[in-house]
Amino acid sequence: MPRRPFVSALLAALAAAPLVLISGLAAAAPAQPAAAAAPVRVMPLGDSITGSPGCWRSILWNRLQSTGHTDIDFVGTLGPQGCGQPHDGDNEGHGGYLATNVANQNLLPGWLSATRPDIVLMHFGTNDVWSNIPPATILAAYGKLVDQMRASNPAMRVIVAKIIPMAPASCAECGQRAVALNSAIDGWAAGKTTAQSPVVVVDQWTGFSTATDTYDGVHPNAAGDQKMSDRWYPAVVAALSGATPSPTVSPTVSPSPTVSPTSTPSAPVACAATYRITNQWQGGWQGEVTVRSTGTARTSGWRVGFTLPDGQRITQAWNAELTQSGTAVSARNVSWNGALAAGAEATFGFLGSTTGTPTVPAVTCTAG
């Protein structure tokens, strides 16, 4: 049977042909396009000031959109409650909730699991203050909440507010209690922040008036919503850019070699500062300075200087290391607000005593 080997070879070749064809098709298949980067997920967390209706969120979201920060997603298990303009209204603003109860009852992990945020904006503690919970207990709850955030996302960026002032008709002591809580937040944040998961404080208290910025002494009106959005905005932009706190001690600089290689000049850093009087009374005033990064590169720190008239003395400051020698005042960033991306802002405030009428001095700003 001399033809049998030929037939066997032919059949084997035909059987292999589909495999070759399939392999060729697989090799020729076009590459799939890369998946689009996921948006940065931002969770607004708090009580009714954040969620009922919390219209500062709609103002903030629209400002971020209009300034090019479109790849963001506000997240939360609660939906929007109006506010009169289109916005991404998802949030975790639970009316009537206490930060201490949310921590003690372990409510946050479920919200985090459902929404997976990268950034948390937390204005929380108003109801705790109203309930006369001690500041140390509230801060312990803050600490537990941050730990739960980091368990969800080790690189969580946390932006915590000094709460807005309180003057409810039913609680004459609430205003001072809010001051006591706010005065302890900077120190708490400094001990809680890390390079991987920075905790940044936003001062929502300074310059906010319960008389003109709330409708009931507690909840913001339209003017208050605008102020809150304005305070959140630079911190959110810095978080979106990945800015993290800079170390307060500069690294040791190694000696330069005799012949330096050619190098590309670093991008310039610069800043500008504005001073305003936010309140005044007989014998005293409250001031605020806003520092803005005006260069093209991120700052590693900043220093502000101004001169006060004779008879004016600063007695208390926050969000800056401030010293006064005679009439000369110098303020520098603290550990968590020195790193400002281009266009970002930081604000510090102070109280002062005076024998005359406070005036607005000229201000200088030097960036590092």
182 and 283, same domain (yes or no): no
Residue-wise pLDDT tens digits, 128-181: 999 999 999 999 999 999 999 999 999 999 999 999 999 999 999 999 999 999
The CATH number of whichever domain residue 352 belongs to comes to 2.60.40.290
The Cα 230–Cα 328 span in angstroms is 30
pLDDT of residue 333: 92
45 and 172, same domain (yes or no): yes
Whether 148 is in a domain gets the answer yes
Whether 186 is in a domain gets the answer yes
The model carries a pTM of 0.59
Whether 286 is in a domain gets the answer yes
Cβ partners under 8 Å of residue 36, min gap 6:
none
Residue 30, Cβ density class (10 Å: 0-12 exposed, 13-18 middle, ≥19 buried) = exposed
332 and 219, same domain (yes or no): no
Residue 187's alpha-carbon distances to 134, 150, 334, 336, in angstroms, are 16, 20, 11, 11
Name the domain boundary from 222, 240, 258.
Answer: 240
Does residue 115 carry a pLDDT above 80?
Answer: yes
288 and 236, same domain (yes or no): no
Rg (CA), the chain: 28
Query: Per-residue confidence at 344, pLDDT binned at 50, 70, 90?
Result: confident
Average pLDDT, the chain: 84
Do residues 185 and 136 touch, judged by C-beta distance below 8 A? no
Residue 153, Cβ density class (10 Å: 0-12 exposed, 13-18 middle, ≥19 buried) = middle
Whether 9 is in a domain gets the answer no
Do residues 180 and 226 touch, judged by C-beta distance below 8 A? no
- The secondary structure element, H or E, covering residue 238 is helix 222-240
pLDDT of residue 31: 56
What is the average pLDDT across 77-81? 88
Backbone angles phi, psi at 327, to 5 degrees: -100, -10
Find the range with the poorest average confidence among 99-103, 141-145, 354-358.
Answer: 354-358
Whether 288 is in a domain gets the answer yes
pLDDT of residue 337: 78
The CATH number of whichever domain residue 88 belongs to comes to 3.40.50.1110
191 and 88, same domain (yes or no): yes
Strand partners, 157: 119
pLDDT of residue 6: 42
pLDDT of residue 33: 53
Residue the block writes with tokens 């170390």: 247
The Cα 101–Cα 109 span in angstroms is 13
Peptide bond into 53 cis (omega under 30): yes
Query: Per-residue confidence at 36, pLDDT binned at 50, 70, 90?
Result: low
DSSP E strands: which ranges in 48-206? Answer: 72-74, 92-93, 119-123, 157-162, 199-203
**Residue 290, domain extent:** 271-367
Angle at 240 between CA 236 and CA 242, to 5 degrees: 120
Does residue 249 carry a pLDDT above 60?
Answer: no
The Cα 12–Cα 6 span in angstroms is 10
Does residue 25 carry a pLDDT above 50?
Answer: no
Number of domains in the chain: 2
211 and 278, same domain (yes or no): no
137 and 194, same domain (yes or no): yes
The Cα 247–Cα 138 span in angstroms is 28
pLDDT of residue 279: 78
Do residues 178 and 135 touch, judged by C-beta distance below 8 A? no
Whether 1 is in a domain gets the answer no
61 and 152, same domain (yes or no): yes
Q: Which of 176, 180, 198 is nearest to 189 (CA)?
A: 198
Query: Per-residue confidence at 250, pLDDT binned at 50, 70, 90?
Result: very low
Do residues 201 and 224 touch, judged by C-beta distance below 8 A? no
The SS3 call for residue 202 is strand
What is the average pLDDT across 293-317? 92
308 and 183, same domain (yes or no): no
Name the domain boundary from 217, 240, 263.
Answer: 240
Do residues 296 and 342 touch, judged by C-beta distance below 8 A? yes
The larger pLDDT score, comparing residue 3 to residue 215, is at 215
Whether 8 is in a domain gets the answer no
Does residue 231 carry a pLDDT above 80?
Answer: yes
The Cα 50–Cα 193 span in angstroms is 23
127 and 234, same domain (yes or no): yes
Does residue 272 carry a pLDDT above 90?
Answer: yes
Whether 253 is in a domain gets the answer no
318 and 212, same domain (yes or no): no
